[in-house]
A and B are shown apart, each in its own frame.
With several copies, the nearest count.
Chain A
Amino acid sequence: MLHRRLYQFLIIYSLGLSGLFLIKYTLNLSNYVIPGPANLWATCREVWLRYFFDTGDTLAVAIIGHITSTCLAIFVGIVGRQATWVGSFVKVAAYNVQAYPIVALAPIIFILLGDGFISRLLIAAMICYFPILLSVLGIMAEPVVDIEHFYRITGRMRWQLEIKIRAFENMNKLITVIAGSATLAMAGTIVAEFIAANAGIGYSIRIALYQSDLSKILIALFLIGLSLSVYQGLLEFSGYLAKKKWEVPKGGIV
């Protein structure tokens, strides 16, 4: 699974790169618009090691951000699922915060929290928690009548149980969303580094942008894609293990 993810990523990246080169040579664009292969290769040899460690840094923050935002989303989703005033209030709040672009909120975040690790984590988490939140909200709002009936009529239903039942019944969907949102955690961390940090691949991208150096950006994108494929592959593999543990075998496989 992991293996497949990796080589699929390589194919995609090569396709993208070939596309760019194609445009370059068809439109006869100069090296400063789209760098040529030689240019790219030279830049690669120069920066790859540094960028590699930068990406590692970023991935580490992204993983923490991913965990944080998963917890956050589940928390907000659980509160917001209720059809009560408070529930819908929390939901509206969560949605509104999301609607504001991070760039507009960043000044306020920096005023409130300074520009340390916490601000970066917050930005990363904010970007990645929303898809999880939406899924959790959708799942938590829908009763699983045939299972819940017993608990409800015997007066045993507690909100924890309700959540457990609905989450368990929709485990596949949750796994898909949580594993998938890893990409957003990565993107979020990069954006956070872009506007706040002085480390990580986002910071390097910012410098490359100011230097108008597309080769560096292309190399950064490669490393980001690579590390993400690994992380996501691992997540999906854990998801697969979890699924396997709970799935009821139907005797369908020879």
Chain B
Amino acid sequence: MLLKLDNISFKYPNAETHVFEGLSHHIDEPGFHALFGPSGVGKTSFAKILCNEIKAFTGQIHTEDIETILYSYNLERLPGWSNVGDHIAKITPPSHVEKSEVLVECFGIEKCLNRRFAELSLGQQNRVNLLRYLLQDFNVLIMDESLANVDELTREKIILKVKEMFPDIIFLYISHNIVEVSKFCRQILVFRSIPKNPQTLLVKGQDLAMGQTLTKKDHELTMLEIMNAS
């Protein structure tokens, strides 16, 4: 399994400066990989390059054993003509129905199923949206602030459960929560504003899994490392 970016450069058509210049990175194992960095540094653009929504970049993307890259973000909406439960039922392949039930419970959205998407709170909307992506077949899922409006307790619960249920998937987790990324991610790709060189630094995270306990000291060290990197 390999996701490799080689010497990527990109500039928005009407912008003066580049978002990336000669950025390279590679991921070769499943798990949670954070994309971290100050707002406006290019995390979303990076994600869009990966999932082919942005095409006007230079450089190569190379993949091995990866068929489907999905990209979810926190502003998505569900269509309004059916309630959330029906929508989920509709987009769930038969083989994933069981998974769906487990996830609904863990995400705490049972009460949302018979309501329409527009009738949910922001955090509920976030969860419902992420859930439907998890019910697809994929190798890589980019979560662009997908849980940004969910409370921390629920978020932790979700991350742990997802890590347990999808051990073979590469998750690219975009979040501004340093506590969280250092705690749950295997590695953290820290983006730095463009004059800084290199443009990215890689930090090893605590990669906490369900049932494990965190050493406070190590966690704080990771956080410090991330902070120094950015």
Task: Judge whether A32 is part of the interface by a CB distance below 8 angstroms.
Answer: no
- By beta carbon, the residue of chain B nearest A251 is B54
Seen from chain A, the residues whose Cβ lies within 8 Å of a Cβ on chain B are: 146-147, 149-150, 153-154, 156, 164-165, 168-169, 246, 248-254
Chain B, 116-161, CB within 8 A of any chain A CB: 116, 118-119, 129, 132-133, 136
Q: Is the CB of A153 within 8 A of B51?
A: yes
Query: Cβ of A252: which chain B residues have Cβ within 8 Å of it?
Result: 53-56
Q: Is the CB of B12 within 8 A of A147?
A: no
CB distance from B47 to the nearest CB of A (A): 11
Please report the C-alpha to C-alpha distance between residue A88 and residue B73 in the assembled complex, in whole angstroms.
Answer: 34
Query: Cβ of A153: which chain B residues have Cβ within 8 Å of it?
Result: 51, 70-71
Q: Is the CB of A150 within 8 A of B133?
A: yes
Q: Is the CB of A154 within 8 A of B136?
A: yes
Knowing A153-B51, A248-B116, say if A253 contacts B79 (CB, 8 Å). no
Knowing A153-B70, A254-B56, say if A249 contacts B76 (CB, 8 Å). no
CB distance from B168 to the nearest CB of A (A): 18
Task: Judge whether B5 is part of the interface by a CB distance below 8 angstroms.
Answer: no
Please report the C-alpha to C-alpha distance between residue A154 and residue B51 in the assembled complex, in whole angstroms.
Answer: 11
Task: Judge whether B14 is part of the interface by a CB distance below 8 angstroms.
Answer: yes
Q: Is the CB of A149 within 8 A of B55?
A: no
Query: Cβ of A164: which chain B residues have Cβ within 8 Å of it?
Result: 79, 81
Listed A/B pairs (8) with beta-carbon separation below 8 Å: A153-B71, A168-B79, A246-B80, A248-B116, A249-B12, A250-B53, A251-B10, A253-B13
Query: Cβ of A150: which chain B residues have Cβ within 8 Å of it?
Result: 72, 76, 91, 129, 132-133
Q: Is the CB of B133 within 8 A of A254?
A: no
Query: Cβ of A246: which chain B residues have Cβ within 8 Å of it?
Result: 80-81
Number of B positions contacting A (CB below 8 A): 31
- By beta carbon, the residue of chain A nearest B19 is A251
| 5 nearest A-B residue pairs (beta carbon) | A249-B13, A248-B118, A251-B54, A146-B77, A251-B56
Please report the C-alpha to C-alpha distance between residue A253 and residue B10 in the assembled complex, in whole angstroms.
Answer: 12
Query: Cβ of A254: which chain B residues have Cβ within 8 Å of it?
Result: 55-56
- By beta carbon, the residue of chain A nearest B70 is A153
Contact of B81 among A149, A168, A249, A250 (CB under 8 A): A168
Task: Judge whether B78 is part of the interface by a CB distance below 8 angstroms.
Answer: yes
Q: Is the CB of B70 within 8 A of A165?
A: no
Please report the C-alpha to C-alpha distance between residue A149 and residue B119 in the assembled complex, in whole angstroms.
Answer: 19
- By beta carbon, the residue of chain A nearest B87 is A150
Query: Cβ of A156: which chain B residues have Cβ within 8 Å of it?
Result: 91
Please report the C-alpha to C-alpha distance between residue A146 and residue B117 in the assembled complex, in whole angstroms.
Answer: 13
Against A, the Cβ 8 Å flags (1 = close, 0 = not) of B215-230 are 0000000000000000
Chain B, 19-68, CB within 8 A of any chain A CB: 45, 48, 51, 53-57
Max count, chain A CB within 10 A of own CB: residue among B45, B53, B77, B129 = B77
Please report the C-alpha to C-alpha distance between residue A146 and residue B74 in the assembled complex, in whole angstroms.
Answer: 9
Query: Cβ of B73: which chain A residues have Cβ within 8 Å of it?
Result: 149
Task: Judge whether B75 is part of the interface by a CB distance below 8 angstroms.
Answer: yes
- By beta carbon, the residue of chain B nearest A144 is B77
Q: Is the CB of A251 within 8 A of B12?
A: yes
Contact of B13 among A154, A169, A251 (CB under 8 A): A251
- By beta carbon, the residue of chain B nearest A246 is B80
Knowing A154-B70, A156-B91, say if A253 contacts B56 (CB, 8 Å). yes
Q: Is the CB of B77 within 8 A of A147?
A: yes
Please report the C-alpha to C-alpha distance between residue A163 and residue B155 in the assembled complex, in whole angstroms.
Answer: 35
CB distance from B68 to the nearest CB of A (A): 8
Please report the C-alpha to C-alpha distance between residue A237 and residue B70 in the assembled complex, in whole angstroms.
Answer: 36
Query: Cβ of A249: which chain B residues have Cβ within 8 Å of it?
Result: 12-14
Please report the C-alpha to C-alpha distance between residue A154 and residue B34 in the assembled complex, in whole angstroms.
Answer: 22
Query: Cβ of B45: which chain A residues have Cβ within 8 Å of it?
Result: 251
Please report the C-alpha to C-alpha distance between residue A246 and residue B77 in the assembled complex, in whole angstroms.
Answer: 15
Query: Cβ of B81: which chain A residues have Cβ within 8 Å of it?
Result: 164, 168, 246
CB distance from B122 to the nearest CB of A (A): 13
Q: Is the CB of A149 within 8 A of B54?
A: no
